[in-house]
A and B are shown apart, each in its own frame.
Chain A
Amino acid sequence: MKAFAAVLIILSCGSMGVIVAGSYAQRVHHLRELLRFLHLLESEIQFSRTTLPKFLAGQAPLFSGVVGRFLAVLRQGLEEGQGDSFQAIWEQGLALLADNGLPSAALEDLRACGAALGRSDAAEQCKHIQRALFRLEQALAAAEEERSRYQRLWQYLGFCTGLLLVLLLI
């Protein structure tokens, strides 16, 4: 019985560590997906002049996870809207990203980009997207560094904490 309880404590603490460590990897994944989305959007605006609803209808299903849900919110907002500004719809989507651990600096950059999207000519649009891409790439580099520094640490910390608790209890 004691051995079973010890294993349970170690596994519980260990899995908590794995979850925290996983959040670092998730953050990197979200940022990469956002970068992919913005690169695609830039090309579509620059070369095809595709409208935002048409672009989102085509691309939203191709993205998974939080970014996929973010794009689905934008798509739905545009399809059902009564001429609401894209900025307002974008803000609803950003709330979803904020709830899923996107760094606040990256959120601010996306907020600035969303305020300009759809409101000017193609050259201006590309400038705004380029600025957001630059900032997101910086955020991605920081997130990757944090991941390499803390991911393994949290995994070890979880299991070690579990082991320590077991030793103290024995």
Chain B
Amino acid sequence: MLRYLAPSLRDVLGRASLQGLEEIRLRLQRPLMIKDRTGYFYLSAQGCPCSPAQAYVVSRDDLERPLQLITENSWYAWEQEILGGYLTLPGGHRVGLAGQAVYGGGQLKTIRSISSLVFRLARAVPGAADPLMDRVVGPGGRQLLSTLIVSPPGGGKTTLLRDLARQVANLGFQVVVIDERSELAACYQGVPQLDVGLQTDVLDGYNKEVGVQHALRALGPQVVVTDEIGQANDGWILAELARSGVKVMATCHGDSWDQVKKRAWLKDSLSVFQLVVILSRRRGPGTVESVLRIS
């Protein structure tokens, strides 16, 4: 990922200890910020953690060069991704953008005057779903249960869902991943950068509604995997999948099962799920608080 940074920033980061690096935050004319396992901190030009006043100050060039390197000086070729607010790098790492929105005909046309870049390292955790596999696939690995993973932000639900998809696909099920925000498979030029299994088709960038219709019509899935359900029409999508006899694996924001059950949009669709996994950050991301079997 460092090769996409301006040479000056590469020098700074080259001097720093980047063990457990999670994020690099570049904000125009503001201090360089890094996140690792321990949290956020500023970095000096010598690559040492420091106070904001002593930190390396991000220049316009530090913001422009990564964009030129990532887009290969071809902004127009990345239009859709830019409108989505992020660019995906080889390896599945992502660069979030902030800048000035330009609207035309009531729609976002482009983003100008980029003022922030957030580099986020993608990291798959193979084996994250190991403790759940017996519950999800049942005895003998032939009977799959539709599963909903519930957790607060940063609770590790996407990581768990990705590994669940990988393991289920490798057991022989035909899996379709509807990767609306390119977070599950992190496709780069059509190639999943994170392992989602041998028998997995990825619908990259599709919204859930179109993705489900496409999957049912063209791909014949046994399992559909999708992240972050919570929109008003997601209930309809889940019902459509259940009608077609397709199992669903999805994630949902929430602190507890009781909180999720109260949501109006989900009430009628909860019957789709047979298993609910509640996660928290109590002992770090991915802490399994409870696994509920729903009849």
Contact = CB atoms under 8 A, between A and B. Distances in A.
B36 interface: no
Q: How large is the interface on A (under 10, 10 to 19, 20 to 34, 35 or more residues)?
A: 20 to 34
A103 B14 CA distance: 47
B21 interface: no
Interface string A54-96: 1000000000000000000000001000111110000000000
A125 B76 CA distance: 8
Interface of B: 6-7, 64-66, 68-69, 71-77, 79, 109-110
Interface stretch (A44-52, A105-113, A146-154): A44-52
B74 A120 contact: no
B74 A85 contact: no
Q: Is the interface of B mostly helix, strand, loop or mixed?
A: helix
A85 B207 CA distance: 34
Contacts of A101: none
A50 B66 CA distance: 19
Sorted nearest first, the 3 A-B pairs with minimum C-beta distance are A83-B65, A51-B74, A118-B73
Given A82-B7, A83-B6, A85-B68, A52 B74 contact: yes
B85 to A, nearest CB: 15
A119 interface: yes
Interface in A89-142: 117-122, 124-125
A52 B72 contact: yes
A78 B76 contact: no
A52 B73 contact: yes
5 contacts: A45-B76, A85-B68, A118-B68, A121-B75, A124-B76
Contacts of B65: 82-84
Contacts of B7: 82
Contacts of A78: 72-73
Contact of B76 (A82, A83, A121): A121
A149 to B, nearest CB: 41
